[in-house]
Amino acid sequence: MKLSRVVATFLLAMQCLASASQPTDAAGAAAPVANTRDSGPEWQSWVLNCQGCHRADGQGTQDSSSVLADTVARFLWAPGGRDYLIQVPGVASSELSDEDLANLVNWMLVRFDKQHVPESFAPYTAAEVGRLRQRPLRLEAPRIRAQLLNHANSQIVAAARSKLLADK
């Protein structure tokens, strides 16, 4: 078992222990969980497969992994960006099934960057993920990432400007 999986499993176990001793209100009833979106199978896949590099908050690490928070859904605004999200090495080579990976990426988009998910977004499907991960990116991934984000940011600014003009 890889060290990262051991650490992720430990973190998951600690989360389970913490939730088992959740605070109660004055009447002794369990207080509501503050962040229920971090409890399902997609979250578990995140903890076991992604969080070790991208960190719990999606901020990544300066030298080794990309920031997802407030960034990941921006790729959906650029031509080729949707494909890129599945073709990056860590995603394309994941041990998750196509269906589980589609669910995880759909969850990540909303969890870490809901404000940039386009209104026209159609969730990834298992078939689409299966097709895209057959052509993984390698050394070119950082260059393509920079190009896509540059284009996406331009598109987001243009869309916001159009919306402002339309609202006047």
What is the per-residue pLDDT across 89-141, written as a single tens digit (0 to 9) for each?
Answer: 999 999 999 999 999 999 999 999 999 999 999 999 999 999 999 999 999 99
C-alpha radius of gyration, the chain, whole number = 18
Tell whether 15 is covered by a domain. Answer: no
Tell whether 144 is covered by a domain. Answer: yes
In terms of residue numbers, what domain contains 129? 3-9+40-57+65-167
Tell whether 31 is covered by a domain. Answer: no
Tell whether 150 is covered by a domain. Answer: yes
**The domain that contains 126 carries what CATH number?**
1.10.760
Number of domains present in the structure of the chain: 1
Q: Is pTM beyond 0.75 here?
A: no
Tell whether 149 is covered by a domain. Answer: yes
Query: Confidence class of residue 37 from pLDDT cuts 50, 70 and 90?
Result: low
Query: Can you list the alpha helix ranges (DSSP code H) found in the chain?
Result: 3-20, 41-49, 51-54, 81-87, 89-92, 98-113, 126-132, 141-167
Tell whether 30 is covered by a domain. Answer: no
Query: Tokens 């386009």 correspond to what residue?
Result: 118
Q: Is 16 helix (H, G, I), strand (E, B) or coil?
A: helix
Tell whether 130 is covered by a domain. Answer: yes
Tell whether 111 is covered by a domain. Answer: yes
- Cβ distance 155 to 80 under 8 Å? no
**Could you give phi then psi for residue 85, rounded to 5 degrees?**
-60, -25
Q: Which candidate, 46, 58, 160, places its Cα nearest to that of 104?
A: 46
